Structure 1
Amino acid sequence: MGIGVEPATFVLIHGGGSSAWDWHLVEPELRGLGHEVVAVDLPIEDDANGISEYADAVVAECAGHRRLAVVAHSFGGLVAPLVCSRVATELLVFVAGMVPKPGESPAEWWSATGHDDLGIALDTRREEVDAFFNGVPDRLVDAAFEHARDQGGANWEQPSPLRAWPQVPTRFLLCRDDRFFPPDFARAHATERLGITPDEIDGGHMVALAHPRELAERLHGFWNRRGD
């Protein structure tokens, strides 16, 4: 851990249509580095829920933990800043994440960021595998589809309750081989929305399944250097 560096509690937020299972290979790596881990299942299957309810679920799981580092993958990025505005947090990390503007709805994000213009097709399983799972072993791809969950979209037009950006040290980690959020798109997104130059890691969109040890080491490093 390094002299004088206290361990974190890493709060891991999964992406859209998914579950905490996405982090199951990263969790033991973080624990091996001395940290606590809380991986949250967002209540995505209930159409009555939206960003606020997702954040409520994460906040509830944070109870009793300290030295929080919130890590959000993909769609989870829309939830993470709201969590950080509700609980004391020492680090916020987007991993191939969607960065919201205050008051922006999930539906608005796609066109506002220019992602709609990329023309990425997700109509078949083959297209989904190509966009999300390049570099992931076949057995884990199959398991990911088994753990996938339907995500209700009734509240996608509802503006985010986030009103101001939380004052938390923030990093953005893009994936160099990402086909869903390609590197050029992710760099521009992080620069425009966060005003920072993103860090980079090898791997596709589902980097937590393809390179769990490397991802855990990067998160560990971000925690140790969060005051820089």
Structure 2
Amino acid sequence: MAEFLLIHGSCHGAWCWRDVLPELIGLGHTARALDLPSHGDDKTPIAEVTLDLYRDAILDAIDTPVVLAGHSMAGFPIAAAAEKAPRKIVRLIHLCSYAPVSGMSLIDMRKESPRQPLLDAIEKSADGLSWAPIPEKARKTFYHDCPDEAVAYAKARIVPQAILPQATALELGENYARTAKSYIRCANDQTIPPEYQSDMAARFAPEDRYEMQTSHSPFFADPKGLAQMLDKIARAG
């Protein structure tokens, strides 16, 4: 059985995996989730958050090699972790995430997408250091197929997202290239366009491409199905 470490996306925290963790454990795996700096219960000030800080928080949480899954923006810090310490990672799983291209930032990659639906649903802070979802647009953009209870749970816990980590170019080399990796495309995503996810997934081996018929939040829309897919990927080796 595998040991999973699950990493949340923008504005979220370890809390977003609440329904997936028991499903994975029920399948016989070890599974846990992490709050990145300034997310969830972590109180790091927004002004201090960097991509390197995200990366190091992930690596500091790993004692024995893990299957490292990252949702949405977490595609960047999980890739950075693989580049710095590949022996800590059995496989990367990009869950409807940005799959980094060396030399580009997340913002660079978002601008390459044919559509940018996220921009209509967020607002930047007055100090320019962060952005956050517009509350009345959050459901349509992130959770359109999720249960009402889960949407309320999420909206009560969302925090501002530091911009600097997403504006930082990531340099990747042989360590990341050699790390086993999979991509899960979410076909009804209203945040990262599914067609752009297809473009990113095309860089993965055909046998490492998967798909779910959900929104950008499969951890709430179909936690059992997501756990089963993670299980399938881990068992495939």
* TM tier relative to shorter chain: 0.7 to 0.9
Equivalents in 1 of 2:114, 2:173: separation in Å? Answer: 22
Contact kept in structure 1, 2:106 and 2:167, CA below 8 Å: yes
Residue equivalent to 2:225:
214
Structure having the higher strand fraction is 2
Question: Residue 47 of structure 1: SS of its match in structure 2?
Answer: helix
Mapping 1:1-228, distance limit 5 Å = 7-44=1-38, 45-63=45-63, 65-66=64-65, 68-85=66-83, 86-88=85-87, 89-116=89-116, 121-123=120-122, 124-164=134-174, 165-191=176-202, 193-194=203-204, 196=206, 198-226=209-237
Once the two structures are TM-superposed, the CA of residue 161 in structure 1 deviates from its matched residue by 4.7
Aligned-pair identity in percent equals: 24
The two structures, once aligned, show a CA RMSD in angstroms of: 2.0
Q: Tell me if the contact between 2:7 and 2:74 (Cα under 8 Å) persists in the aligned partners.
A: yes
Q: Which runs of 5+ in 1 are unaligned?
A: 1-6
Q: Scaled by the length of structure 2, what TM-score is found? A: 0.83
Moved more, 216-225 or 39-48: 39-48
With normalisation by structure 1, the TM-score equals 0.86
Following the alignment from structure 2 to structure 1, what is the Cα–Cα distance between the partners of residues 155 and 19? 16
Q: Give the structure 1 partner of residue 128 of structure 2.
A: none
Question: What residue number does 1:3 align with?
Answer: none
Q: In 2, distance between residues paired with 1:132 and 1:169?
A: 28
- The amino acid across from 2:50 in the alignment is G
- CA change 1:148–1:166 in 2 (3 A) is same
Q: CA deviation at 1:163?
A: 4.1
The runs of 4+ residues in structure 1 deviating greater than 4 Å are: none
Contact kept, 8 Å, 2:113 with 2:193, in 1: the verdict is no
8 A contact 2:96–2:183 mirrored in 1: yes
Aligned residues: 216
In 1, the alpha carbon distance for the partners of 2:79 and 2:236 equals 20
CA distance in structure 1 between the partners assigned to 2:164 and 2:71 by the alignment: 21
| Aligned partner letter, 1:122 | A
Decide whether aligned partners of structure 1 residues 98 and 119 sit closer, same or farther in structure 2, where only a CA change above 3 A counts: closer
| In structure 2, C-alpha distance between the alignment counterparts of 1:57 and 1:185, rounded to whole Å | 28
State how far apart, in whole Å, the 2-side matches of 1:158 and 1:176 are.
Answer: 28
Is residue 103–residue 163 contact of structure 1 (8 Å, CA) maintained in 2?
no
Give the drift of 1:186: 1.3
- Give the letter aligned to residue 58 of structure 1: I
Distance 1:168 1:30, change over 3 A: same
- Cα shift at 1:120: 5.4
Closer, same or farther: CA 125–10 of 1 in aligned 2, 3 Å: same
- The alpha-carbon deviation at position 155 of structure 1 amounts to 4.6
Contact 1:73 1:95 survives alignment (8 Å): yes
